[in-house]
Structure 1
């Protein structure tokens, strides 16, 4: 537990700064380009490189590459160095080729992920995509460097490097806001303004990847191009990675549905005169905020846990692998539970404070907050599901997660289509959030049962008891936050200033209430976190 806490703390610090600067980046861009048509065009173009990266290497990194590198470090006479060099060489060549092809196919890719957009919106999104898609190569190179660093227990750089990316794009957003004087009409955007947005976004990823490559060299990795395909283990990687690619392909098929429905809903809402952005941009921002606690808390622990679980499984120590997983779950949930409940209460206050600026109105920000409230319901089951996948990955089992992906996409796509065709356009994105919640609740329950069989037992009773104590401690915190929200709203209404008061008082008092009650209930994970923080502050 202490080793996991130390590793988690290092990553959590970097991830927190990364996520918070990413949060500021999103707020600046939203203020500059809005949450309506121009914002949707940018977000579609911005999202596609991440989709292609996931299809090519992202899923394989977490499920196949890290366990394979760990095994080569244990078995190869050179500690796996030649294997890592071959892997980096082949990946770099492939990523450059894919980036070039993606730029050529930018137009068809945009049409694949959108619906109901005007000709001007499609042209704008395509031009932005052509300038943003080259970042696939840099993103992939940096991610692979980060994976190699993780196998050396160097967790800091991969968590801190995105901060530089965010700073660069924040500068781009501020510059755009200044030169356009707060005008976000897509019909008036110039080619120079699009170049600032597109090339500036790519520059951020370039800076991030350079930091990771430099950090890898400082960790003792010396790169030497190697093209020995036979020694690269590509056959094994293809066999295992094929299922990972199938997993990512299935989930991205589901993402196509979600993106088409959200862009379509936004266009229909705009045509009907809905007085707030209700499309893809609102969906993306709410999802990013939903991911903030998960990214700061859970990703750090998951990243530290997977190499350990892989080693335990490799050595046949299934009881130790089970205990590592259970410790990670309890540690993560001790922070995720109160975060999810407080977001359900304070979501609109958070989004009004951050996004009711520039070209965005209070109504735009409130809608994002309403979507966030729906998403908050999914935080615990989503986190559990993501952690459960690592149980299968530690066994080098990439086939079982494909089954989960197919199940999730079927449930989520079906419920999302129901929401699109039954709800008014202004409420469709909230319906998509509800579909997401139901999907991951079912997925977590099924995955737990199967993972328990694989690892030799995961005690539902132990986790349920721990979660019940955490929810018991969190509910009074929610009541405190609700009381502050009700009082401030009645006195001052909903403004960015009143929202700041609600977040400071309601969030602060609510968080303190949770910590005090959790300590009284002797929740060991909370006490461990508080003790570690107190010890560091006292130094």
Structure 2
């Protein structure tokens, strides 16, 4: 696939992801207004994050990163019978594995809840609520793992649109559960957990039949000694840390947040949701599209094509991630006030979430870079090197989180949860730096000419963007005081649009043209 083809595929993926993110913002807005940031919402956050972390291992994270290169290699050989046999056995092995883990998760839910709420009181209501919700959310892991398998197969044959659309169903299912089920529970927040369960089921029901239409639907066969299964699981094990390092860092933050006020879990959740918007829209899109391409280049022993494609991905990330980080930091409070500050979500909640967003925005460029750097290793079936980076990063995050939270609490700072967000961001920077350094040392990537010029172009565009956004913020003043939600939203879109226009104008003045996005 040419870099023009990569750009088109990334655009398709980003467009579908944009729909998902809009639906996700609608879901978060409804959740914030109905339930606020109380103990039950924080319990749901923990109950959702645990199977969601495992999803990163058995779905689009570790499993997909190990599965796609092996699948691409079989595609390259052109042996349809061997390909189908591989799909049959890997699907059976994956389902058997996640079914066992799901059962154990439901059985040991009280102990898991206590582990991740380590610093909460022994009789904490939040621990009991989390355990109950875990029993509801854990089956999501089985559904979403099979969905991710189907999505990876579709992506390998360049069908990016439908897999990218499935998260829309996730958000719609949770919205439907909030609106339709909350009234029937004594604790209405249980509807959120059931929404996650239904979301997994809906996504699987959409993608699995699509494989049948392509003649690629697996017939489940369980044999862990099958050569392809052993190979994928062998590649997968070292990636458990590396492909889910950001989720691991969030879980570390979840544990430390349990020593703070009960709302801290929810504040960090909403801040993470805002940061995930640009990551999902651009970082995940580029990484997902580039992995099959890099795998094919490696399988064809095309080292130059591999390096060219990686350089393209890194340049595109640089163009997008730097203004995204600046924009999030500048617009953190307006974003929170516009999207969340209704009903049960208070002005104080807005301030607390905005603090975490500003702290987390420091790591946005690094988070996006990691989404492209990791596939560069996985395409070469090198899973051990990123694992080393991940282990270092997680330990650094634990130390940073402990140091910052304890120091901020001792100093009497009103928002010590901001230290958790900042530690996560700094750990992300460390992870990206290590991955980049390892690629350079291995000789797998050589930066092409023009990077200094590119940074100068981004700098000019960013300065114009910051000036435009800062001027608009000064003129508008208190965002929550703008009145009705549609006024806030209108002004938000206007200011964000002005910032994007100023950034684009800066790039044009500096010499960036659309064709440069298609060329290394």
TM-score when normalising by structure 2: 0.91
Are residues 384 and 248 of structure 1, via their aligned partners in 2, closer, same or farther at CA, if it must alter by over 3 Å?
closer
Q: CA deviation at 1:509?
A: 1.1
CA deviations over 1:105-143 (Å, ceiling 9, x no partner): 111111111131543221111111111111111011101
Map of 2:166 onto structure 1: 161
Q: Of 144, 151, 154, which aligns to 1:149?
A: 154
1:357 aligns with 2:342: yes
Q: Structure 2: how far apart are the matches of 1:492 and 1:37?
A: 25
Match of 2:255 among 234, 256, 260: 260
1:220 corresponds, among 207, 215, 218, to: 215
SS in 1 for 2:440: helix
**1:347-394 CA-partner distances (Å, limit 9, x unpaired):** 110110111012111221222122112211211122113311221111
Q: Give the distance between the partners of 2:143 and 2:31, measured in 1 at CA.
A: 22
Structure 2: state its 5+ residue gaps: none
Q: 1:57 to 1:2 in 2, by over 3 A?
A: closer
Q: Contact (CA 8 Å) 2:13, 2:161: kept in 1 or not?
A: yes
2:512 maps to 523
**Which residue pairs with 1:298 in the alignment?**
283
Could you tell me which of 48, 57, 64 is aligned with 1:46? 48
Structure 1: gaps of 5 or more residues: 181-188, 268-276, 530-539
The 1:168–1:475 alpha-carbon spacing in structure 2 relative to 1, beyond 3 Å, is same
Q: Secondary structure at the match of 1:508?
A: helix
How many residue pairs match? The answer is 509
- Please give the residue correspondences for 1:149-298 in structure 2 after superposition, counting only pairs within 5 Å: 149-175=154-180, 179=183, 190=186, 193=188, 195-247=190-242, 254-267=249-262, 277=263, 279-298=264-283
Taking the aligned partners of 2:201 and 2:383, their CA distance within structure 1 comes to 30
From 375, 383, 400, give the equivalent of 1:390: 375
Q: Is the 8 A contact 2:284 2:371 kept in 1?
A: no
Measure, in 2, the Cα distance between the counterparts of 1:281 and 1:426: 16
Asked whether the equivalents of residues 239 and 387 of structure 2 are also in contact (C-alpha less than 8 Å), the reply is yes
2:415 to 391, 406, 427: 427
Displacement of 1:400: 0.5
Q: CA deviation at 1:204?
A: 1.6
Determine if the alignment matches structure 1 residue 133 to structure 2 residue 138. Answer: yes
Separation in structure 1 between the aligned mates of residue 260 and residue 356 of structure 2, nearest angstrom: 14
TM-aligned CA deviation for residue 452 of structure 1: 2.0
Structure 1 stretch 377-386 or stretch 229-238: which is displaced more? 229-238
Residue 366 to residue 499, structure 1, CA distance change in 2 (3 Å): farther
Helix, strand or coil for the counterpart of 1:396?
coil
8 Å Cα contact 1:138-1:206 kept in structure 2? yes
Matched with 1:475 is 463
The 1:479–1:125 alpha-carbon spacing in structure 2 relative to 1, beyond 3 Å, is same
Pair 1:334 & 2:338 matched: no
Out of 474, 492, 502, the residue aligned to residue 513 of structure 1 is 502
- Give 3-state SS (helix, strand or coil) of 1:35's partner: coil
Q: CA deviation at 1:525?
A: 5.0
CA distance, structure 2, for counterparts of residue 523 and residue 446 of structure 1 = 29
Distance 1:49 1:131 in 2: 10
- CA distance in structure 2 between the partners assigned to 1:293 and 1:195 by the alignment: 29
User: In structure 2, how many angstroms separate the alpha carbons of the residues matched to 1:194 and 1:289?
Assistant: 21
Deviation at 1:48, TM superposition (A): 1.4
Which of 87, 91, 96 aligns to 1:88? It is: 91
Aligned equivalents of 1:494, 1:38: Cα separation in 2: 30
Quote how far apart the aligned CAs of 1:468 are.
2.7
How is 1:93-104 mapped onto 2 (pairs within 5 angstroms)?
93-104=96-107
Task: Tell me the distance in 2 between the aligned counterparts of 1:460 and 1:419.
Answer: 39
1:526 to partner: Cα distance = 8.0
Name the structure 2 match of 1:466. Answer: 454
Q: Distance in 2 between matches of 1:75 and 1:434?
A: 47
Shift of 1:464: 3.9
5 Å-filtered alignment, 1:2-81, equals 2-75=4-77, 77-78=79-80, 80-81=83-84
Aligned-residue CA RMSD (Å): 2.4
Question: What secondary structure is seen at the aligned counterpart in 2 of 1:458?
Answer: coil
Residue 483 of structure 2 corresponds to residue 488 of structure 1: no
Contact 2:334 2:479 in 1 (8 A): no
The aligned counterpart of 1:371 is 356
1:97, CA displacement in angstroms?
A: 2.3
SS in 1 for 2:87: helix
CA contact (8 A) 1:322 1:455 kept: no
User: Contact conserved, 2:47 with 2:130, CA < 8 A, in 1?
Assistant: yes
The 8 Å contact of residues 385 and 438 in structure 2, kept in 1 or not, is answered as no
